[in-house]
Amino acid sequence: MSTTTLVDIISNSSDKSPHKAAFRFEQEAISYRELEVKTTQLAKYLGSVGVQKGDRVGIFMNRCLESVIAVYGIMKAGAAYVPLDANAPHARTVFLLNDANIKIVVGTETFSKKLQKLLEAQSPLERLIGVQLKVTYQTTPWEEIYQVEIKGFKPILIAEEDVAYIMYTSGSTGLPKGIVHSHKSGLTYAGLSAQLFKVSPEDRVGNHAPLHFDISTFGYFTAPLAGATTIIIPEAHTKLPVSMLALMEKEKLSIWYSVPLALIQLHLCGLISEYNLTSLRCVLFGGENFTLKYLRALMQEWPHAKFYNIYGPAEVNQCTHYLIDELPPLDKPVPIGKVWGANEYKILNENDQELRGIGQVGELVVKTDTMMIGYWNNPELTKKSFYLENTSSNKTKKYFRTGDLVKRNLTNDLVFVGRNDRQVKFRGYRVELDEIETVLERHNLIKKAAVCLVNSSPSDTVIFAGIQLEKTTMISPNALKLYCKLHLPPYMVPQKIEIMKEFPKTSSGKIDLLAFKNKIKAI
């Protein structure tokens, strides 16, 4: 059977290796055959309660085996899954429910109180799956899903252009934006990454990222496409480096993919040498810069593994890679490498003219089959995000504008230089600093806010917020942090907040962000 959509991944692997563990979590495992059955049960149930092709269904849970059943069951029903960060503020989640018109959310009993609160909010939400609440007619526990008779189930006809999932990320307007991916873009990414890193049925892939973070697609799509086993890293282990190392050894992980900070924490615990991780053959990292002294140290700890710097905005999944085959020098950034597969790229100046020379800095635009359809409910932003090239054969090529400034080095590898806007990469997440400022300035005691990233130590950075209060008002930084927690995901809440008398200004009267950042460094 050919693999033409993401749904086919589990069906095909179930036919080839029915009893092989597809995913593991803590002491539990689910085989490819079990996954095929349970995703079909969920798909049939979703259809019975009115889910139709093209609908959006939310997933509200931490890392667990049910998350996999939810992902593939929703897609098998012809719908698109929308990961909802269970740790995000209530108001933000309600916004996503309304923006994507989500009527059904799949969750677990762990978050029954939060899910009950969502059911009571003003939104399209009508039904919860995976929990049993007092409002029984609106909730269906997993036990009931697993009793659904799948005999006679008629698969929904899904085309590769159909929407498979929508991932929300920070937006510069102060509101999250939904990145819409098709079955084609997701499956193409899975196939290219499986080929690039030679993923095989013998591999055991560590899935460190939560479902709402795009790195998770490697564990959820790439690994099962290759018939490998994905080990979902429990939430608690992500905060305890020593227990993480023990898990990596116990599970004999062969491929690891995470943000650099997770790897830095493993190194800094000082106990790597006590664990046998010779099974590790590929260490993939992306989402932010890797502090070079720690990268070098980790490469010396694991000389048997190959290290790859991975680059790619969530809108195009992954689009470049760079194999670090020797210890990188401390005085040069690690390149983001070359584009892969049949991908194409250009470097453009501010007038959209192509730059071809070595060392010339411009915006990277990428043409790839792993590219998103667009932004959900936002045609204007979608239009702005693409660069269209008219070819000599009167055909139009569509490139995604990454917003990242790059240059070519002497080996023709791409090197990341910075951003052409105020988006930053923070602990693997894309964060629009404008969104944090917008939230702060909504507070009735705040006159003006400015936000930037600053180094807190050689191995880490923090989000710093400077605020100017309205006259004759007082509020503590801790109170402002609590306020931010009500409106922003945890990773976007400023770690440091300073009350400032005034901000440095440009000649036009705007906040001088460069001078502000330099001033912060001196505090």
Only one residue has tokens 């917020």, namely 465
Tokens of 258: 């995470």
φ, ψ at 354 (rounded to 5°): -75, 135
Q: What local confidence, expressed as pLDDT, does residue 475 receive?
A: 87
For residues 376 and 180, the answer to whether their CB atoms sit within 8 Å is yes
Specify which residues 180 forms β-bridges with: 166, 374
Residue type, 453: L
Q: What local confidence, expressed as pLDDT, does residue 86 receive?
A: 93
Tokens of 487: 């409106």
SS3 499: strand
Tokens of 244: 């993480």
CA distances from 177 to 149, 166, 169, 314, 398 (A): 38, 10, 6, 12, 21
Residue 400 half-sphere exposure toward CB, CA atoms < 13 A = 23
Q: Which of 257, 389, 373, 255 minimizes the C-alpha distance to 314? A: 373
Tens of pLDDT along 393-439? 778 899 999 999 899 999 999 998 877 777 787 887 878 887 888 78
Tens of pLDDT along 454-471? 877 766 788 999 988 877
Q: Which of 268, 204, 200, 260 minimizes the C-alpha distance to 233? A: 204
Separate counts of helices (H) and strands (E) for the chain = 16, 27
Residues listed for the chain: 523
Distance CA 59, CA 54 (A): 16
Domains of the chain (ranges; CATH) run 7-232 (3.40.50.12780), 426-522 (3.30.300.30)
Q: Which of 504, 520, 503 minimizes the C-alpha distance to 453? A: 520
Q: How far is CA 43 from the centre of its chain?
A: 25
CA distances from 444 to 122, 134, 411, 441, 496 (A): 24, 38, 53, 8, 20
Q: Which of 228, 184, 218 minimizes the C-alpha distance to 287? A: 218
For residues 37 and 18, the answer to whether their CB atoms sit within 8 Å is no
Q: What local confidence, expressed as pLDDT, does residue 271 receive?
A: 94
Q: What local confidence, expressed as pLDDT, does residue 508 receive?
A: 47
Q: What DSSP line would sit under 38-51, residue for residue?
A: HHHHHHHHHHHTT-
For residues 150 and 37, the answer to whether their CB atoms sit within 8 Å is yes
SS3 240: coil
For residues 343 and 366, the answer to whether their CB atoms sit within 8 Å is yes
Within 223-259, residue ranges assigned H as helices are: 223-225, 241-250
Q: What is the pLDDT along the chain (523 residues), one digit of tens a residue?
A: 678 999 999 999 999 999 999 999 999 999 999 999 999 999 999 999 999 999 999 999 999 999 999 999 999 999 999 999 998 999 999 999 999 999 999 999 999 999 999 999 999 999 999 998 877 679 999 999 999 999 888 889 999 999 999 999 877 667 889 999 999 999 999 999 999 999 999 999 999 999 999 999 999 999 999 999 999 999 999 889 999 999 999 999 999 999 888 898 899 899 999 999 999 999 999 987 788 888 999 999 999 999 999 999 999 998 999 999 999 988 788 999 999 887 899 999 999 999 999 999 999 999 999 999 999 999 999 999 999 998 777 788 999 999 998 999 999 999 988 777 777 878 878 788 878 887 888 888 887 888 888 877 766 788 999 988 877 678 888 999 999 999 898 989 999 998 888 888 654 456 777 778 777 765 5
Q: What DSSP line would sit under 371-425, residue for residue?
A: ---EETT-HHHHHHTEEEEE-TTS-EEEEEEEEEEEEE-TTS-EEEEEESSSEEE
Q: What local confidence, expressed as pLDDT, does residue 360 receive?
A: 94
Q: What local confidence, expressed as pLDDT, does residue 288 receive?
A: 78
- Ordered strands of the 306-311 beta sheet: 28-31, 21-25, 229-232, 204-207, 255-258, 282-286, 306-311, 320-324, 338-339
For residues 44 and 10, the answer to whether their CB atoms sit within 8 Å is no
Q: What local confidence, expressed as pLDDT, does residue 441 receive?
A: 82
SS3 105: strand
For residues 66 and 130, the answer to whether their CB atoms sit within 8 Å is yes
Residue type, 440: L
Distance CA 94, CA 114 (A): 11
Q: What DSSP line would sit under 274-334, residue for residue?
A: GS--TT--EEEEESSPPPHHHHHHHHHH-TTSEEEEEE--GGGS--EEEEE-SPPPTTSPP
- Fill in the DSSP letter of residue 220: I
Residue 340, judged by CB atoms within 10 A of its CB (0-12, 13-18, 19+), counts as: middle
SS3 443: coil
* Radius of gyration of the chain measured on its C-alpha atoms: 23
